[in-house]
């Protein structure tokens, strides 16, 4: 492999991306659309089973809007590991074309192959979708009111250590190289998203998490850009932490309640949000919004759990995470009343009342039962 040529290509691609970001306009205004198209992608493993339940609940909440033609649900097939392996692509072309006709997407988990798997070692469909649709802000809230935890993570989603993760090279048999990239425009738009959120929601602090003391160039840029952006938000304090001590401080009961909004590069955001979700009951309970200016995608933060399917247990998989993703979707497109009802129902059904319990097997409820329980609860609100 001509590695200098390879590096040149990577650099040119990033330059092209920066040029595009410079031209980017504002966020789409859903109110200006005649019809909002919601794409539904089941994914792999337990994905289709749980995503279908989230879709049912959303269709229930938006029944009138669908009747009026203001909202359309569109199920998109083919984002399966079998099809992706067949065409050797992270997202098959026809699937990507369909996704691009939607405004927002509800997505189940997709299997991410790695070396040694029975699948070709293709790029993660998640990572590819975030890049292809330019979904730069991965917003992940974690709340545990009784512990005083109310965090919102703004994970950068289109650069960092992640996005070139399938484009590393073996220089020779001994040397493996990966690449990490941060751009001014990429850091700025995620920092602004975090500060705008803080401002809108009455938060007083944004915490920037990097490892800028060691990864000096790219993390250093991320931190500097955040500091610059902070100047435009008087009244909101910015503090800066390193990722290692941050993972420790999340388990420090006295310290952790002081964090409010976190902004961080891709890989650190990936790691810290799994840790954070654990306080709330695990990754199965968290939802994740991937927001760009033209598109937005909402998903579960857990994996596809193929073992559950092998053992015939997919109907018992907990749909809470992808339902929470659905509630975030509703809120994002302006149906805040409906979203609030769904958040409330999730709290009642999953935490306070718990009339049905999901155990992941036939000792507990099925995901269809749980969706019914959510809808009955909503009706009583």
> Contact positions toward ligand IPM, by CB under 6 A?
112, 124, 126-127, 270, 301
Copy the structure tokens of residue 34.
């005649």
- Residue with smaller CB distance to ligand IPM, 121 or 204: 121
- Check residue 62 and report its DSSP letter: T
Residue 122 C-beta: closest distance to ligand IPM, Å: 12
Q: Which of 300, 343, 341, 339 is nearest to 318 (CA)?
A: 300
320: partner contacted, choices ligand IPM, Mg ion, none (Cβ within 5-8 A by kind): none
Instruction: List the one residue out of 115, 225, 215 whose CA is nearest residue 165.
Output: 115
Nearest to 105 by CA among 371, 342, 329: 329
The region of 63-71, 112-120, 227-235, 270-278 touching Mg ion under the rule CB under 5 A is 270-278
Distance of alpha carbon 175 from alpha carbon 79, whole angstroms: 34
User: Residues with Cβ < 8 Å from 286, sequence gap 6 or more?
Assistant: 140, 141, 142, 273, 277, 280, 301, 321, 324
Helical pair 47-61 and 367-380, crossing angle rounded to 10 deg: 20
112 vs 377, which CB is nearer to Mg ion?
112
Q: Smallest gap, in angstroms, from Cβ of residue 263 to Mg ion?
A: 17
Residues 142-171: x where in contact with Mg ion by CB under 5 A, - otherwise, as a string: ------------------------------
338 binds, among Mg ion, ligand IPM, none (CB under 5 to 8 A by kind): none
Shortest distance (Å) from residue 193 CB to ligand IPM: 17
Size of the site for Mg ion (CB under 5 A): 1
Report d(CA 211, CA 226) in Å as an integer. 14
Torsion sign over Cα 195, 201, 205, 206: negative
Task: Output the smallest distance, CB 160 to ligand IPM, in A.
Answer: 10
Q: Characterize 337-371 residue by residue with b for buried, 16 or more Cβ atoms within 10 angstroms of its Cβ, and e for exposed.
A: ebbebbbebbebbbeeeeeeebebeeeebbbeebb
CB of 175 to ligand IPM, least distance (A): 25
On whether the CB atoms of residues 292 and 133 are closer than 8 A, the answer is yes
Phi and psi angles of residue 61, each rounded to the nearest 5 degrees, phi first: -70, -30
366 binds, among Mg ion, ligand IPM, none (CB under 5 to 8 A by kind): none
Taking the complex as a whole, how short is the minimal distance between the CB of residue 274 and Mg ion, in angstroms?
Answer: 5
Tell whether residue 299 is a contact of Mg ion (CB under 5 A). Answer: no
Question: What residues does 220 pair with on adjacent strands?
Answer: none
Q: Which of 98, 270, 314, 338 binds Mg ion (CB under 5 A)?
A: 270
CA nearest to 137, candidates 333, 297, 22, 303: 297
Nearest residue to ligand IPM, using CB?
Answer: 124
Nearer to ligand IPM, 230 or 264 (CB): 264
Q: Could you identify the residue written with the tokens 């759990």?
A: 305
- Report DSSP state, residue 181: B
The distance of closest approach from Cβ of residue 136 to Mg ion in the complex, given in angstroms and rounded to an integer, is: 16
Q: Which does 14 bind (CB under 5 to 8 A by kind): Mg ion, ligand IPM, none?
A: none
Nearer of residues 127 and 365 to ligand IPM, judged by Cβ: 127
Considering CB distances under 5 to 8 angstroms, the limit depending on partner class, which of ligand IPM, Mg ion, none binds residue 124?
ligand IPM
Q: How far is the CB of 268 from Mg ion (least distance, A)?
A: 11
Nearest distance from C-beta of residue 250 to ligand IPM, angstroms = 16
Nearer to Mg ion, 36 or 264 (CB): 264
Looking at the Cβ atoms of 124 and 185, the one nearer to ligand IPM is: 124
If we measure between CA atoms, which residue out of 218, 152, 149 comes closest to residue 180?
218
Binding region for Mg ion (CB under 5 A): 270
């Amino acid at each position: 492999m001509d590695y200098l040529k390879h590096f040149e290509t990577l650099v040119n691609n990033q330059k092209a991306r920066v040029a595009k970001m410079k031209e980017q306009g504002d966020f789409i205004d859903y109110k200006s659309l005649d019809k909002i198209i919601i794409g539904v992608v089941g994914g792999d493993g337990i994905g289709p089973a749980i995503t279908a339940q989230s879709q049912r609940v959303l269709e229930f909440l938006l029944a009138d809007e669908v009747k009026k033609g203001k909202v359309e649900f569109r199920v998109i097939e083919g984002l399966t590991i079998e099809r992706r392996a067949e065409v050797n692509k992270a997202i098959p072309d026809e699937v990507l074309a369909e996704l691009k006709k939607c405004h927002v997407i509800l997505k189940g988990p997709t299997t991410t192959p790695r070396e040694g798997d029975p699948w070709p070692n293709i790029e993660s469909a998640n990572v590819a979708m975030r890049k292809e649709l330019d979904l730069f802000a991965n917003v992940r809230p974690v709340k545990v009111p009784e512990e005083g935890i109310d965090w919102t993570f703004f994970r950068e989603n289109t650069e960092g250590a992640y996005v070139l993760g399938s484009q590393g090279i073996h220089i020779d048999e001994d040397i493996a190289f990966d690449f990490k990239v941060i751009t001014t425009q990429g850091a700025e738009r995620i920092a602004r998203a975090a500060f705008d959120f803080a401002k809108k929601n009455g938060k007083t602090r944004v915490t920037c998490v990097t490892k800028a003391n060691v990864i000096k160039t790219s993390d250093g840029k991320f931190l500097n850009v955040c500091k610059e952006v902070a100047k435009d938000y008087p009244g909101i304090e910015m503090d800066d932490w390193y990722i290692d001590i941050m993972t420790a401080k999340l388990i420090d009961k006295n310290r952790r309640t002081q964090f409010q909004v976190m902004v961080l590069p891709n890989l650190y955001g990936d790691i810290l949000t799994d840790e954070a979700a654990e306080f709330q009951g695990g990754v199965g309970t968290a939802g994740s919004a991937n927001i760009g200016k033209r598109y937005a995608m909402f998903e579960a933060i857990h994996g596809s759990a193929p073992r559950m399917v092998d053992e015939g247990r997919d109907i018992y998989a907990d749909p809470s995470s992808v339902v929470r993703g659905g509630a975030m979707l509703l809120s994002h497109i302006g149906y805040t009343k409906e979203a609030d009802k769904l958040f409330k129902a999730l709290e009642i059904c999953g935490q306070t009342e718990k009339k049905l319990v999901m155990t992941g097997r036939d000792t507990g409820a099925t995901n269809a039962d749980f969706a019914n329980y959510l809808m009955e609860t909503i009706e009583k609100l």
